[in-house]
Amino acid sequence: MFFLDLLQTLEKWDRALFNLINNVLENSFFDVLMPFLRISYVWVPLYLFIFVFVGLNYKVRGVWWIVFFLLVVACSDMTGTNVFKHNLHRVRPCNTPELFPNLRLLVVCPSGYGFTSNHAANHFGMATFIFLTFRHIFKRWTWIAFLWAGAICYAQIYVGIHYPGDILGGAALGITFAVLYSYLFNRFFGPLPQKL
């Protein structure tokens, strides 16, 4: 009984926070920016820059860094879809009829389930892996990766396709794989040298 009450309370909080971000905090600038932020191909130049930078500066070790980076994304994405979405079947807010009167949907609503958010899993996985493998080199600058991931995840809620709980679950999943693979990378290949 306690567990059921707890789940219902968390669901209420999740919907209330979703309504706050999606509806109450809406503004014309974010209406343009947020749909743009969540488009995957927008970030392709950034990914290419990271791969070229790492490959040119760290040679063979850099190639392995890219492999582990891609493993973080692949494992986060596949686990989010095949383990959570296909088994938990949590309906997205944009597919929930009782939310329609106040829902602001700024993009096409995906047909799949919402928990966990693969955008959150992938981007927080990438951000955490970058942080854990580069923080000794770029110090405080590596925190920018989390701001980037956070902005993309906020956009997922703002445009109406994910609950905050979907984002938190996805972020936790991505961070878990990033911690695992950064540990394995540092153990097998050692920390990246500070001098480029």
47 inside domain: no
Q: What is the pLDDT of residue 47?
A: 95
pLDDT, mean of residues 165-181: 97
What string of H, E and C letters represents the secondary structure of 166-182? HHHHHHHHHHHHHHHHH
64 inside domain: yes
Model pLDDT for residues 80-121, shown as the tens digit of each residue: 999 999 999 999 999 999 988 889 999 999 988 999 999 999
Q: What is the pLDDT of residue 186?
A: 93
129 inside domain: yes
95 inside domain: yes
Question: Six-digit token pair at 39?
Answer: 């488009």
Phi, psi of 46 (to 5 degrees): -65, -45
CA dist 22 and 117 (Å) reads 16
50-54 contacts at long range (C-beta below 8 A, 24 or more positions apart): 50/130
Q: What is the pTM of this model?
A: 0.93
How far is the CA of 48 from the CAs of 24, 100, 106, 107, 139, in angstroms? 37, 39, 28, 26, 22
Mean pLDDT of the chain: 93
> Using an 8 Å Cβ cutoff, are 62 and 129 in contact?
no
Residue 69 clears pLDDT 90, i.e. is over it = yes
Q: What is the pLDDT of residue 196?
A: 61
Which residue is listed with tokens 């990378």?
185
Q: How many structural domains is the chain composed of?
A: 1
Residue 151 clears pLDDT 80, i.e. is over it = yes
21 inside domain: no
Confidence class for position 195, pLDDT limits 50, 70, 90? low
- Enclosing domain of residue 160: 52-189
167 inside domain: yes
